[in-house]
Amino acid sequence: MKYPAVNPDLRRRIASAALCALLALSVSAQEGTGSHEYRADGETTIDTRNGVRVITLRDNVFVRQDQVELTGDVAVLEYDMDNQLQKVTLTGTPARFSQQAEDPANAVSGYSDTINYFAGAQAVVEFIGTASFTQPGTSLLCAQIRHTIETGATSGQACSGSLSPQTD
């Protein structure tokens, strides 16, 4: 039985097309409202599940959207069909969150075993499992913390913490 020869030029064209598709996805992820970027040292997979585009990043993961930065071991990014980021689930030892501010004294940060970041106009970040959270005037250690980015409202479960005087 003879097998057809594989055209090396065809392989190069297919590889080039796949690379262009990945670059186009990366560029489109950085355009528009809530522009963002991501990178990882390990494997990246992209697929669609139930109408949701899912990108999984592994090993030394970094995700940024506007002033929010997330780092960890594994990130799962979920996009709607218009390529708008909806959710990032990040795990790590620990997974880390930071929100930059014009005045570094007003920066917000936290870490936990798992972080769920919900993008959008009412962006929310959830810290799940051995959660630590610091914002101006407040430090919390909790089993779980939920922080609304726009309003600064924060709630937690099974917490201890400290308050310090705030200056306005």
Give the pair of three-digit tokens for residue 100.
């930059």
Q: How far is CA 146 from the centre of its chain?
A: 16
Q: Which pLDDT belongs to residue 30?
A: 38
Return the sign of the alpha-carbon dihedral for residues 20, 25, 31, 37.
negative
Residue 33 pLDDT exceeds 60: no
Instruction: Residue 54: name the closest of 33, 83, 19 by CA.
Output: 83
For the stretch 80-108, pLDDT in tens is 988 899 999 999 999 999 998 888 878 89
167: CB partners within 8 A, 6+ apart? none
Q: How confident is the model at residue 166 (pLDDT cuts 50, 70, 90)?
A: low
Total residue count of the chain as it appears in this document = 168
For the stretch 124-152, pLDDT in tens is 999 999 999 999 888 999 999 999 998 98
SS3 165: coil
Q: Tell me how far apart the alpha carbons of residues 56 and 83 are, in angstroms, rounded to a whole number.
A: 15
Q: Tell me how far apart the alpha carbons of residues 136 and 152 are, in angstroms, rounded to a whole number.
A: 10
Q: Which pLDDT belongs to residue 137?
A: 86
Give the chain's mean pLDDT.
Answer: 82
For the stretch 45-59, pLDDT in tens is 999 999 999 999 999
Q: Which pLDDT belongs to residue 9?
A: 55
Q: Domain ranges for the chain, please list them.
A: 8-163
Task: Say which CATH class 8-163 falls into.
Answer: mainly beta
